[in-house]
């Protein structure tokens, strides 16, 4: 355990976001940061609008959640037009005041010395919360790490707005106490170009020091539960069904491989993204004659028992049974599913999305890399991974070693310690 030197005044760290719940990318990465901060000897606390984390260390303010009715109504009026009413400005400011008071209460309750803001100063999904956090920082001068996952300019739905003044002020703010952290090279360049702000890149990471779970008494019947025979090829798409995941390419790959005896399992449903794309994926699979299995009713974040007493498996129960993993996303902030597949030593089919090309591919991973669309060469290499056990083993072991070197908790710890040193915090 590291010990904080007496010169340090930072002991209590407060994480702030709209929610800490489920398996969204922000929540997943925050858990990793929390683990490292605790390892370094800090006490950690959480402020959000929705949470299923440590209630004794959490302050939940419903108005801080982007799905809170008043917040959702405000957001609906903020985008798609260029002028706003005085009434809308008033509603934003009223909610900003409520959240600002709540943030001050959070800081005082646990004597918070350092704030780590998880995406709430990045993407304008909650305008009043971003304004409240910005004012708290400006008025207290306390050190802040702004962990940026995806910016407004990366999402088309935020391109037309009547709140550009608020976005310029708070997403992200330009304030001296803030250390900005981006998760990839492209985001770092864009933040510098668009806002004149420097940042440190801290990629998404995974704990490769813990052995991957395998097939055990609980999950040994997973194939049967999914309707996959022991001799069939099990291809896993470990993502939600949303358009940017490019699932059509995974379906096409299955079809071009021959289709029969091959099943593509999509692990998660659309959640709050709507059902239109989900239906398109199923229709496309039917059109091509690809066998697709979608069972989010029995796959969740953790093992559990369903309402009818049925067994619910975790995603980590699914990976060990899979033969191959597809990840044909058209855009990702980084690529958690990629790191997970490498952790479970599974061969991968991945699209050359921009962040993969700039931040992951140069490391030298051995995968099937699709460049925009599926080719015969992609299909041939996929079959090689499936049929040539020697080639497959060498590739997945190489991938694991590379990920351990460049995307592990050790990397995250070193980066966080560097930021703390800039704040004047020494670690022994």
What ranges make up the beta strands (E) of 222-310?
A: 233-237, 262-266, 291-294, 299-300, 304-305
Strand order in the sheet with 348-351: 291-294, 262-266, 233-237, 324-327, 348-351, 368-370
Per-residue pLDDT, 350:
97
Residues 326-368: tens digit of each pLDDT? 999 998 888 889 999 999 999 999 999 999 999 999 999 999 9
Q: Is the dihedral of CA 412, 413, 415, 419 positive or negative?
A: positive
Domain 222-406 has CATH 3.40.50.2000: yes
Task: Evaluate if residue 293 carries a pLDDT over 70.
Answer: yes
Task: Evaluate if residue 239 carries a pLDDT over 50.
Answer: yes
Per-residue pLDDT, 156:
87
- In this prediction, residue 7 has a pLDDT band, given cuts at 50, 70 and 90, of very low
Residues 76-103: tens digit of each pLDDT? 999 999 999 999 999 999 999 999 999 9
The answer to whether the beta carbons of residues 78 and 91 sit under 8 Å apart is no
- In this prediction, residue 270 has a pLDDT band, given cuts at 50, 70 and 90, of low
Whole-number percent of the chain with pLDDT over 70: 96
- C-alpha to C-alpha distance for 251 and 346, rounded to whole angstroms: 19
- In this prediction, residue 427 has a pLDDT band, given cuts at 50, 70 and 90, of low
Overall average pLDDT of the 194-202 stretch: 96
> Is the backbone peptide bond immediately before 326 cis, with ω within 30 degrees of 0?
no
- In this prediction, residue 6 has a pLDDT band, given cuts at 50, 70 and 90, of very low
- C-alpha to C-alpha distance for 35 and 56, rounded to whole angstroms: 17
Residue 321, CB-side half-sphere exposure with 13 Å CA sphere: 31
Q: Do domains 12-205+409-422 and 222-406 have the same CATH topology?
A: yes
Contacts of 286 (CB under 8 A, 6+ apart): none
Q: Which residues pair with 142 in a beta bridge?
A: none
Q: What are phi and psi of 60, to 5 degrees?
A: -105, 120
Per-residue pLDDT, 4:
35
Per-residue pLDDT, 302:
86
Task: Evaluate if residue 212 carries a pLDDT over 50.
Answer: yes
What single-letter DSSP state applies at residue 211? Answer: P
| Three-state SS letters, 88-156 | HHHHHHHHHHHHHHHHHHHHHHCCCCEEEEECCCCCCCCHHHHHHHHHHHHHHCCCEEEEECCCHHHCH
CATH topology for 12-205+409-422 is: Rossmann fold (3.40.50)
pTM value > 0.85: yes
Per-residue pLDDT, 1:
33
Per-residue pLDDT, 424:
82
Contacts of 185 (CB under 8 A, 6+ apart): 201, 355, 358, 359
Task: Evaluate if residue 196 carries a pLDDT over 50.
Answer: yes
Overall average pLDDT of the 302-315 stretch: 91
Q: Cα–Cα distances in Å, from 174 out to 51, 358, 428?
A: 28, 27, 31
Per-residue pLDDT, 271:
56
Per-residue pLDDT, 34:
97
Per-residue pLDDT, 273:
55
Domain ranges of the chain: 12-205+409-422, 222-406
Task: Evaluate if residue 3 carries a pLDDT over 60.
Answer: no
Query: Where does residue 32 rank: exposed (0-12), middle (13-18), buried (19+ CB within 10 A)?
Result: middle
């Amino acid at each position: 355990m590291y010990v904080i030197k007496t010169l340090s005044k930072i002991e209590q760290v407060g994480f702030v976001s709209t929610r800490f719940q489920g398996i969204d990318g922000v929540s997943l990465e925050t858990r990793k940061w929390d683990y490292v901060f605790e390892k370094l000897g800090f006490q950690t606390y959480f402020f959000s609008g929705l949470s299923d984390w440590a209630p004794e260390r959490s302050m939940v303010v419903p108005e801080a959640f982007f799905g809170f009715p008043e917040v959702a109504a405000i957001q609906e009026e903020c985008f798609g037009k260029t002028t706003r009413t005085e009434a809308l400005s008033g509603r934003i400011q009223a909610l900003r005041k409520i959240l600002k008071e709540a943030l001050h209460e959070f800081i005082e309750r646990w004597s918070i010395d350092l704030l780590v803001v998880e995406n709430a100063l990045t993407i304008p999904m909650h305008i009043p919360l971003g304004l409240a956090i910005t004012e708290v920082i400006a008025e207290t001068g306390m050190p802040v790490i702004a962990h940026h996952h995806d910016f407004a300019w990366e999402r088309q739905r935020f391109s037309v707005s009547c709140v550009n003044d608020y976005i310029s002020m708070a997403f992200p703010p330009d304030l001296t106490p803030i250390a900005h952290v981006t998760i990839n090279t492209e985001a770092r360049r864009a933040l510098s170009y668009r806002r004149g702000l420097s940042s440190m890149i801290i990629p998404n990471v995974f704990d490769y020091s813990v052995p991957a779970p395998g097939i055990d008494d609980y999950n040994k019947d997973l194939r049967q539960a999914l309707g996959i025979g022991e001799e069939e090829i099990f291809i896993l798409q470990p993502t939600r069904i949303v358009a940017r995941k490019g699932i059509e390419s995974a379906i096409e790959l299955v079809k071009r491989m021959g289709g029969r005896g091959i099943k593509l399992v999509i692990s998660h449903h659309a959640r709050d993204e709507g059902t239109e794309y989900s239906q398109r994926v199923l229709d496309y699979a039917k059109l091509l004659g690809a066998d697709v299995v979608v069972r989010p009713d029995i796959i969740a974040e953790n093992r559990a028992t369903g309402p009818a007493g049925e067994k619910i498996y975790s995603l980590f129960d699914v990976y060990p049974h899979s033969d191959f993993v597809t990840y044909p996303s058209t855009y990702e902030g980084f690529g958690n599913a990629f790191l997970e597949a490498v952790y479970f030593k599974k061969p991968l089919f991945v699209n050359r999305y921009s962040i993969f090309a700039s931040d992951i591919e140069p490391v030298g991973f051995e995968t099937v890399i699709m460049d925009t669309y599926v080719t015969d060469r992609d299909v041939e290499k996929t079959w090689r991974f499936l049929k040539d056990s020697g080639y497959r083993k060498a590739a997945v072991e190489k991938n694991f070693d590379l990920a351990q070197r460049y995307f592990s908790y050790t990397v995250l710890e070193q980066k966080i310690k560097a930021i703390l040193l800039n704040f004047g915090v020494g670690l022994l």
